[in-house]
Amino acid sequence: MRIVHQDAKRGIIELFPETLDDLWHLSHLIEPGDLVSSRTTRRIQDTTGERLRSDRGIKKTFFMGIRVESINFHKYTGKLRAKGVIKKGPEDLVSLGSHHTLDLKLSTPVRIQKEKWSRWHRKRIKEAIDSSKVPKALVVVIEDDNADMGILRQYGVEFYGPIIGGISGKRVLQKNRQQIINNFYEAIVQSINKFEGIKGIVIAGPGFGKNDFYQFISQKYQDLANISRLESTGAGGRSGIHEVLQKGILEEMATEGRIALEVRMMAKILEEIGKTSNLVAYGKNEVKTAAEAGAIEELLVIDELLRKKDVERIMDMTENLGGKVMVISSEHDGGKQLSALGGLAALLRYALK
């Protein structure tokens, strides 16, 4: 993410999204009521004369601004769509006042105008800019002849796989076995190479498959081996990937470890709840009481609540009284657990009861 232009007097910030993570950040920065402008392409048909049925018109690209009514981020398709009423655009091409869906795309500047930019908005922009400089991490979990992958995004984990090796089975002759294993490992390498910007790889799993794969890449793909480390897990598949996230390995590798940190913080909250501890609060009412008492050490807030003014007040109060605030993505398991607790939870400095 890059800031292209700012106009503090008019409340305008123009941003340049470079990754899928940036579109996710934009989906939380843009709110109903904002004036959002970007380039868009529409097919314009000739209405001056008779139009042939086969004539689909001419594509024209121009700048359009809408007053946002809703915003939707589709992580699987990589699309961010803002719906609202057209407020800006060439009058010969658009009908001002009509409804339109604006597709916000990568490598296309997005101008956002708000009545007021809160410090949480600005903090989120800074986080997006800072995190774009952090290398990406990939987790590869191998169990027997199955491999699963998870690439860490700022909003959660994108899972890929499984890659099936076809090593086991009675029909596999011993003389062909090593070739089949090598083909399996080559398929894993090909999948890894599809990802751009990977600077850290954790190769994990419950058995010896991870070690054999590491030895394979050490012999044939030294560049991958140089950025990889081994880690044992009690399970394979996605469970193994989640296990890696909870261990703090990714932060040690100085790669994108935000999601791992969020997952571990949520695990701490659940641990305190399990102990029936008085050093935890959850739900809006309990957390608000703790914030007013200055008792919050760490506040966890689900990203879906950031547009709520009362939640923003709790966040401000917590920071003003020396507490820390962490916004948790709703896209991963830790976020779903926080949602089940009402979207707000806090670790306390001292018990209130």
Position 353 in a domain: no
Let me know if residue 307 belongs to a domain: yes
pLDDT value, residue 91: 77
Unique residue bearing structure tokens 């400089």: 133
Mean pLDDT for 3-15 is 94
**What SS3 string covers 255-269?**
CCCHHHHHHHHHHHH
| Position 239 in a domain | yes
Q: Are residues 36 and 90 in the same domain?
A: yes
Same-domain pairing of 246 and 151: yes
215 and 276 share one domain: no
User: What is the domain-level CATH number for residue 15?
Assistant: 2.30.30.870
- Between residues 8 and 91, which one has the greater pLDDT? 8
pLDDT of residue 287 exceeding 80 = yes
Q: Which of 78, 112, 131 is the last residue of a domain?
A: 131
Least confident of 15-19, 52-56, 188-192: 52-56
pLDDT band at 206 (very low <50, low <70, confident <90, very high): very high
235-259 mean pLDDT: 77
Q: Would residue 143 count as lying in a domain? A: yes
Do residues 148 and 250 both lie within one domain? yes
Out of 131, 166, 200, a domain closes at 131
In a domain, residue 206? The reply is: yes
* Confidence grade of residue 173 (pLDDT, cut at 50, 70, 90): low
- Range 288-311 average pLDDT: 92
Res. 77 pLDDT band, cuts 50 70 90: confident
**Mean pLDDT of the region 330-340:** 88
CATH number of the domain bearing residue 276: 3.30.1330.30
Q: What's the whole-number average pLDDT of the chain?
A: 86
Looking at residues 177-184, what average pLDDT do you find? 88
**With a threshold of 0.85, does the pTM exceed it?**
no
Q: Considering the domain boundaries, does residue 114 fall inside one? A: yes
pLDDT score, position 292:
95
Domain shared by 278 and 342, yes or no: yes
Closest CA to 248 of 237, 238, 258, 236: 258
Same-domain check for residues 45 and 120 = yes
Of 131, 147, 167, the residue at which a domain comes to its end is: 131
Residues 248 and 290 in one domain: no
Q: Name the burial class of residue 302, with classes exposed (0-12), middle (13-18) and buried (19+) by CB atoms within 10 angstroms of its CB.
A: buried
Confidence of residue 44 (pLDDT cuts 50, 70, 90): low
Q: Please state, in angstroms and rounded to a whole number, the distance separating the CA atoms of residues 221 and 241.
A: 23
- Answer whether residue 115 shows pLDDT above 80: yes
Any domain includes 108: yes
pLDDT (0 to 100) of residue 75: 72
Is the residue at 124 inside a domain? yes
pLDDT beyond 60 at 48: no
Pair (162, 276) in one structural domain: no
The enclosing domain of 225 has a CATH number of 3.30.420.60
Whether residue 59 is found in the same domain as residue 81:
yes
Number of domains comprising the chain: 3
The verdict on whether omega for the bond into residue 17 sits within 30 degrees of 0, i.e. cis, is no
pLDDT value at 331 more than 90:
no
Statement to judge: residues 148 and 88 lie in one domain: no
Same-domain pairing of 162 and 90: no
For residues 238 and 278, membership in a common domain is answered with no
Residues 6+ apart with CB under 8 A from 279: 272, 347, 348, 350, 351
Domain range for 209: 136-256
- Is the model more confident about 11 or about 20? 11
Is the pLDDT confidence value at 155 over 90? no
